Chain A
Amino acid sequence: DAGVIQSPRHEVTEMGQEVTLRCKPISGHDYLFWYRQTMMRGLELLIYFNNNVPIDDSGMPEDRFSAKMPNASFSTLKIQPSEPRDSAVYFCASSFGRNIQYFGAGTRLSVL
């Protein structure tokens, strides 16, 4: 298996623009997680899905952030409008049940 695949690897955008991050989990995994990594706050959970259904979105910073999982092999995290404080590395991870979470390589987002 190719592992968790995230795209793009790097994204540079201007404040106010819409940003969409993409994730393909490992085939057969039923949990998908979105984390954000910043220097100040470390790794934080934003949201996670079970069988494509959002279970806990309490970590989503504000209404500008939204996440979807239309099918078992694809998820998106959207920020609209983006702000400079959204600059971070966004990781997607997947797992089978409460087992090991496997992480993608991340998307480094810079909002100017």
Chain B
Amino acid sequence: GEDVEQSLFLSVREGDSSVINCTYTDSSSTYLYWYKQEPGAGLQLLTYIFSNMDMKQDQRLTVLLNKKDKHLSLRIADTQTGDSAIYFCAEMGNSGYALNFGKGTSLLVTP
């Protein structure tokens, strides 16, 4: 299938901003998602963006989409220790219903 790539680890200090990046290869992707997974838990949808949008902001979360470069980013402002988790980027192609996930970025927030 098509690839979704993410860096594996990110460490930030509490109060700083975190930026998690994702690249994808399927140019027909219509929906792009960010999910959060805490230890031992399922995947919680954080936010999503349609492919005809460049940016979406939701409280501390900002999603930027560069469709030309097939690059998606998630910015978390004022990162808190409770934000420590694994963040997954996922895309849904134009004709499919299933999600294609990246391997996840493990975010560690230190005091």
Interface residues of B (CB under 8 A from A): 31, 33, 35, 40-45, 48, 88, 92, 97-99, 101-104
Nearest CB in chain B: distance from A77 CB, A:
15
Tally chain A residues at the interface, Cβ within 8 Å: 22
For chains A and B in complex, what number of residue pairs have CB atoms within 8 angstroms? 43
Interface residues of A (CB under 8 A from B): 4, 31, 33, 42-43, 45, 48, 50, 55-56, 91, 93, 95, 98, 100-106, 108
Partner of A91, one of B31, B42, B92: B42
Q: In the bound complex, do residue B42 and residue A101 qualify as a contact, i.e. CB atoms below 8 Å apart?
A: no
Q: Which residues of B contact A4 (CB under 8 A)?
A: 42
Partner of B97, one of A42, A55, A106, A108: A55
Q: Which residues of A contact B35 (CB under 8 A)?
A: 103
* Interface of A: prevailing SS: strand
Closest to A59 in B: B98
New A-B pairs, 13, CB < 8 Å, besides A33-B97, A95-B97, A105-B42: A4-B42, A33-B99, A42-B103, A43-B101, A56-B98, A91-B43, A93-B43, A100-B33, A100-B45, A103-B35, A103-B43, A104-B42, A105-B41
